[in-house]
Structure 1
Amino acid sequence: MNDDAPPRRIWLCADDYGMAEGVNRAIRDLISRGRLNATSVMVVGAAIGRTEVAALQEVAASSPRCAIGLHATLTAPFRPLTMYFRPLDGGLFLPFPKLLRAGLLRRLDPGLIEDELSAQFAAFKELFGRAPDFVDGHQHAQLFPQVRDAFLRAVKEAAPTAWVRQGGRLQPLARRLGAPKALVLDVLSAQFRKRATASGLAFNPAFAGAYDFSKAFDFGELMGDFLDGLPDSGLVMCHPGFVDETLESLDPLTTQRESEHAFLAGDRFPTLLAANKVTLG
């Protein structure tokens, strides 16, 4: 590492604000500590409303600038805002493997997806009084075939100055092959970047943060790997939260969220950032 090089300024984004009150509290706590500089809001979540939005706006305003984005949601166990959205599974969005499969088989209706995303943009604007700073997707659905074109059209219409999240990495091939989940995101993101460029939309140059949530990991060690080689303006995704009944009913990612919060709130994290010459810009 070049000791004379300026610090790399990255985005550390907490996903899922609005999913559950415990998730919201953890994210606000980290913003207040200056340990996050972005969060994406799920407007179809179980814990989103005027009170939760006001609390986020207040803490973001009192800390170094924190970007607030839309966490576009198209997968179960959440429900669409548009009454005519299809396909559904028991009144809910499809689980993400089914949505990805349907996109690969060209069985989705991009017009319905674009209408649903437009409704989510309108809900965000109603809550926050403005368009989002950036837009990403729950379970990376914005990268899926057919979804990505509808997603980019909706962003271009509702938030043309927002940047969008791509999920590709800038690492040697040997390292990328060792992480199957991240490799899938690399493949999906290649076409997404081409289409975003053609649409005139900005995106993060590199991405990190994907790991196997079913296994026990030291999140500090994972974060060190995420930061290694991440370029200026690169993005690390995280999912801090406190476990509550709502979270347990909606998402399998529970105790790992508390582990992420504990590391990001603790003393090891700023030390790790300094050792890697990284700052949250």
Structure 2
Amino acid sequence: MNGDALPRRFWLCADDYGLSPGVNRAIRDLIERGRLNATSAMVVGPALGREQVDALRDAAAASRRCSIGLHATLTAPFHPLTMHFQPLDGGLFPAFPQMLRAGLLRRLDPEIIRAELSAQIAAFIELFGRAPDFVDGHQHIQLFPQVRNAFLAAVKETAPGAWVRQGGRRQPLMRRLGTPKALLIDMLSMQFRRSASRADIACNPAFAGAYDFSKAADFGELMQQFLDGLPDGGLVMCHPGFVDDILISLDPLTAQREREYAYLAGEAFPRLMASNNVTLA
């Protein structure tokens, strides 16, 4: 490492604020420790009342810098904000596979999608008293066919100063081929970036953080992989949290959230950043 080289700056964004009290508490703790510089909030989540919003705003205000964005959500087990959203499954958004299939088969109504996303942005503005710094998507929903243009139109109209998350990586081809989920995100992100550019909406230059959540992976080793080749301004997604009953009822990603939190809160993470000459943006 060249000691004279300026460190690469990157965004470390904790998704899912508002999913459960335990997730919220872990994210706020990491912000206060200076270990995160971004989080995205789910306005359709069950744990995003006024008290939780105020606590997040206080934590972000006390940190060196922390951006707060909207985690746009269009998949189960959450309810839409708009009355006429379609399709629905028992009053809930469809599950991830159904939404992806409907988008690929062009069976979604982009205007209905745009209206729901505009309503979620408006709800964020009502809760936080300002527009989101950025907008991303739960389960990468913003990248789906038919959703992406509706998503970008809603951001352009209701949060014109926000940037948006794309999921394309800058890693060796063999590593990308070895992660099917991340490869799909890469492919969907190519069109998303082109559409965002046409709409004159900024997005992150590169992305990392996708992995097989079903395995008890060593998050320190994964973080090293995420930082390899990540350019200045790149974004790493993470999902820290403490397991509670609400989280268990809503999301299969539980124990791994605690492993992510433990690593990010510990002393190995600052050492890893120093050895890679990177810093939070």
TM-score using structure 2 length: 0.99
Map 1:112-261 → 2, pairs under 5 A: 112-261=112-261
Letter aligned with residue 66 of structure 2: C
Instruction: Spell out, residue by residue over 1:60-110, the C-alpha distance to the aligned partner (whole angstroms, 9 max, x if none).
Output: 000111000000000000000001100011110011111000000000000
Instruction: Spell out, residue by residue over 1:3-31, the C-alpha distance to the aligned partner (whole angstroms, 9 max, x if none).
Output: 43210010000000000000000000000
SS of residue in 1 equivalent to 2:68: strand
**1:2 Cα offset (Å):** 4.0
Letter aligned with residue 44 of structure 1: V
Identity rate, percent: 75
Letter aligned with residue 56 of structure 2: L
**1:213 Cα offset (Å):** 0.5
Letter aligned with residue 64 of structure 1: R
Instruction: Name structure 2 gaps, 5 residues minimum.
Output: none
Map 1:46-85 → 2, pairs under 5 A: 46-85=46-85
User: CA separation in 2, counterparts of 1:232 and 1:97?
Assistant: 33
User: CA separation in 2, counterparts of 1:229 and 1:267?
Assistant: 23
SS of residue in 2 equivalent to 1:4: coil
TM-score using structure 1 length: 0.99
SS of residue in 2 equivalent to 1:85: coil
Q: May I ask how many residue pairs the two structures share in their alignment?
A: 281
User: CA separation in 2, counterparts of 1:276 and 1:156?
Assistant: 36
User: CA separation in 1, counterparts of 2:4 and 2:222?
Assistant: 26
- Kindly report the root-mean-square deviation, in angstroms, between the aligned alpha carbons of the 2 structures: 0.7
Matched with 1:280 is 280
**1:246 Cα offset (Å):** 0.2
Matched with 2:43 is 43
User: CA separation in 1, counterparts of 2:159 and 2:172?
Assistant: 34
User: CA separation in 1, counterparts of 2:232 and 2:4?
Assistant: 15
User: CA separation in 2, counterparts of 1:245 and 1:108?
Assistant: 33
User: CA separation in 2, counterparts of 1:130 and 1:171?
Assistant: 36
SS of residue in 2 equivalent to 1:9: strand
Matched with 1:97 is 97
SS of residue in 1 equivalent to 2:252: coil
